[in-house]
Each structure stands twice: as structure tokens, then as C-alpha cells.
Copies of this chain bind each other. A is one copy, B any other.
């Protein structure tokens, strides 16, 4: 007997792998079930729809990114801007490893779904936007710490974190479109030079 929690997790893991390597619309419930070794009839016992499963996939992807990437890259064993550099290096290493394993650089699992679905699925759009907000918030905290430590001149830290995240997403997207992780190696470090100056105080 396979416990139900295992079946649910297998569906999430399969959907995550298939959607990340292909796209949301390109991966149907039948393909997810086949990959997971789950009868299609059982799918709807666990998830009312592919959309609901995809929300669970986004939660799982975010948790993994947090544990495997953010908690390590942002660990306070070095100054805050050096943690951002480590985040970029680790992202490059991961994308390079994925390219070597699959032949394709997959890019950002969140950005991919944001690009594909934001005009089509308001629930998924909001979920991806919430992931981006968390990422921005993590970057923002590092920038605030860097300003506090005198490693960074005063900037609009919210806007600068948003600009840095946008740049990071854009570098991942153009590297994916070139299918070349080394685009990250070349371009990503310029993220650390992006600044949006403080707003003038209103009277």
C-alpha cells in the first residue's frame, strides 16, 4: 500500500519536473499521472485541477529554493553584498548543471510561469508575484544591512531590490533563450551595481 501522502507528493514532484522542463500548457494531467505512476482517476482525489496542483508545485519550488539556495547563499558568514554574489554564483552553477543533465537551460521556474500564465490565470499570477515579493524582501534586507554597514551608499532599497530582481530574471531569461548558462557568468555580476537613488522627501 502506497500512503496517500506519497501519491500526492509524487504528483507534485512529477508536475514540477515536467512543467519546469516544458511549460504549463504543454503538460497535461494524463502526462503528470503517467510520470508519477498514478491512475488518472486518483488525480482528482488529491487536486481539483491542474491549476491547484501547480499552486502546490510553486510552494514546493519556493521551499526548495529557500532551503537549497537562499538559506545557503544568504547565510551571514560574509558581508551582505558578498552573499548576493554567492546567490548569483550558485544560480549559475545550478543552471549549468541542469544544462549538462538535460541539454537545456531551464531558467527560473517562477519567471517561466509568470511569463506563460500572467495574462491567463490570475490565481497563478498572484502566486508567482508573491514569490517575487519574498525574493525582493530577502534582497531588500541584505541591501539594508549593507547600507547600515557602510558597504553601500544610501539607495531606495525597495526599488533597488526590485530592480536587482528584475535584472536577475532578465539575465536568466536571455541566458535561457541563448541556452547558455555562461551568459549568467558574464552578465549577472552587474546586478550588484544597480542603484535606484533615494526619493526626494516630499515637503
Residue ranges of A at the interface with B (Cβ–Cβ < 8 Å)? 21-26, 102, 104-107, 111-112, 114-120, 125, 128-129, 132, 159, 162-163, 165-171, 173-174, 176-179, 183, 186-187, 190, 193-196
- Determine the distance from Cα of A186 to Cα of B156 in the docked complex, in whole angstroms: 11
Chain multiplicity (copies): 2
Give every chain B residue within 8 A of A196 (Cβ-Cβ): 187, 190
Which B residue's beta carbon lies closest to that of A136?
B174
Identify whether the interface residues of A are mostly helix, strand, loop, or mixed.
Answer: helix
In angstroms, how far is the closest chain B Cβ from the Cβ of A115?
A: 4
Given the known inter-chain contacts A22-B120, A26-B120, A162-B174, please indicate yes or no for A193 contacting B190, CB distance below 8 A.
no
Contact A115 B116 (CB under 8 A): yes
- Determine the distance from Cα of A190 to Cα of B194 in the docked complex, in whole angstroms: 7
- Determine the distance from Cα of A112 to Cα of B22 in the docked complex, in whole angstroms: 14
- Determine the distance from Cα of A117 to Cα of B173 in the docked complex, in whole angstroms: 11
- Determine the distance from Cα of A177 to Cα of B111 in the docked complex, in whole angstroms: 8
- Could you list 15 examples of A-B contacts with CB < 8 Å? A21-B119, A104-B119, A106-B119, A112-B115, A114-B174, A114-B176, A118-B177, A132-B174, A159-B186, A163-B167, A166-B170, A167-B167, A168-B170, A170-B171, A190-B195
Contact of A159 among B21, B129, B187 (CB under 8 A): B187
- Determine the distance from Cα of A169 to Cα of B193 in the docked complex, in whole angstroms: 18
Contact of A167 among B104, B120, B170 (CB under 8 A): B170
- Determine the distance from Cα of A188 to Cα of B118 in the docked complex, in whole angstroms: 20
Known: A114-B176, A132-B177, A163-B167. 11 other contacts (CB 8 A): A21-B119, A23-B24, A111-B173, A125-B177, A125-B179, A129-B178, A163-B171, A166-B173, A167-B170, A170-B173, A190-B194
